[in-house]
Amino acid sequence: MKITIQYKLFMSMLAATVLVIGYMGVVTQWSFDKGFLEYIDTQEQVELELVATELEAYYAKHQSWESLKQDKYELFSIFAKTLPEGRKKRYLQKKIRNKELPAWMNDKEPPNDKKHPTHPLERTIILDEFGLLFFGSQRGDALPNLRMLTFEKQEIGAIGLYPPEFFQDSHQLLFVKKQKLIIVLVALAAILISIGLSLPLAFQLTKPVRRLSAAARRLIGGDYSTRVQVTSKDELGALSRDFNTLAETLGKTETQRKQWISDIAHELRTPLTSLQGEIEAVQDGIRQPDQQTFSNLHQGVSRLNRLVEDLYDLSLSELGVLSFYQEKIDFRALLADEVTARQNDAEKAKLRLLLDTEQKPLIISGDKQRLQQLFNNLLSNSITYTEQGGAIEISLHRDNSNMKLDIMDTAPGVPDEALPQLFNRLFRVEQSRNRSLGGAGLGLAICQQIVTAHNGTITATHSPTGGLWVQVTLPLLGESS
């Protein structure tokens, strides 16, 4: 049988309550019994003081204990005198008149140590002036607290009373029974109150868990718009907020996945359609397989190959398995070589390519091939989308323990809403732009992965010259010279 967390929590709280109530009941009962026995002992000590006073008066009158030792009735009458007026005193006086003694006073055998005496007189002992016991029975080796009997400042004996260990009087037993009944009733009431409070409390505490469980099932079913209401600031509230964040992230991931598949299909369809058209034209005899035809086919295949390579590199980078060969590199010299190599492309596009760098080497630890890919993607992006007659300004300078590369081009610029998405895969500022103008929108995404792998940062913002400003920051390797 499956037990829900609500009932587990309820049973835990109820069990804790029962244990606490049980412990308190046991301690309370023990404390009450102990305290009540001490109270009875105190009362009996007061009565014992009265007996002691009567014994001292008897000794003063007879100057000896001999007659008292021989006459149990006389001793019994002394005990009876100390009782207050009431049923017990009348009962004892009747016993004395009838020359009757309690059975324990007539018993010549010593009392059984395993059976604790119930009557106070059974627990009373009296010693004579020589310390000899002439009334009562000593229980074990220990004596109770003794009250010395004196006459004319001389010790003539002692009297003591063993404290009670059990309740013996019917009134005492009835009182104790009532108290135990009250304790039991209070414990039962407390348990019932605990049940009445614990069950709704457990239901209320597990309510967010049930909401989360239901929301998780909807999320598993593909409903990424699922959200749970956050009603508290405790751990369950934090869990609810984390769940909402997870659902939002999964929703975005699913949207990006669908967009990713759609974009890849779109990017592959364009060159494949072009290749198919060229091949079908040759097959139908519409076009002769001349040099231009082969050039168009080669261009289409190259574009497909470049797209596949970019997708492969990007997937490896996101999986964390893209290979990087770390070595000491003069970043300034590497950049200068790449800019020189792209001068011809810039001139064909009627653009000015300007480079401003420090004269000293800027040494970093990196992968030369990947950094060349970074330069190539960034420069190709600027050359492709900058209007004719414009300029691309490249500057490289030291910034404390880092170096910063700035690439700023002229118009056209990038809308504000597009800036945060420039490094997303397959993102284009103009989705309808002719694919012949550039790549598949993977260049900047790959640039971000390369920079991140080199422990650097890359950002994009508006250029003061009206175009796009891309800034790359990479850590320098020690002191460059």
Across the beta sheet with 133-135, what order do the strands follow? 133-135, 124-127, 154-161, 146-151
Which amino acid belongs to residue 56?
Answer: E
pLDDT of residue 119: 65
Token readout for 213 is 């469980």
Q: What is the pLDDT of residue 463?
A: 93
Cα–Cα dist 445/428, whole Å: 11
By the 8 A CB rule, do 423 and 472 touch? no
Nearest to 330 by CA among 476, 150, 120, 182: 476
pTM confidence score: 0.47
Strand partners, 354: 393
Give, for all 481 residues of the chain, the pLDDT tens digit. 567 777 788 888 888 888 888 888 888 888 888 888 888 788 888 888 888 888 888 888 888 888 888 777 777 777 777 776 655 666 666 766 666 666 655 554 444 444 555 567 778 888 888 888 888 877 777 788 888 999 888 898 999 888 887 766 666 678 778 888 888 888 888 888 888 888 888 888 778 888 888 899 998 888 888 898 888 888 888 888 999 999 999 988 888 778 777 767 766 776 788 788 888 888 888 878 888 888 878 877 877 887 777 677 767 666 665 667 789 999 999 999 999 999 999 999 999 999 999 888 999 999 898 898 899 889 988 998 899 999 999 999 998 899 999 999 998 888 888 888 888 766 666 543 334 444 556 778 888 888 998 999 999 999 999 999 999 999 998 654 4
pLDDT for res 468:
93
pLDDT of residue 410: 93
pLDDT of residue 113: 45
Query: What domains does the chain contain, in order, with CATH numbers?
Result: 5-170 (no CATH), 235-317 (1.10.287.130), 324-475 (3.30.565.10)
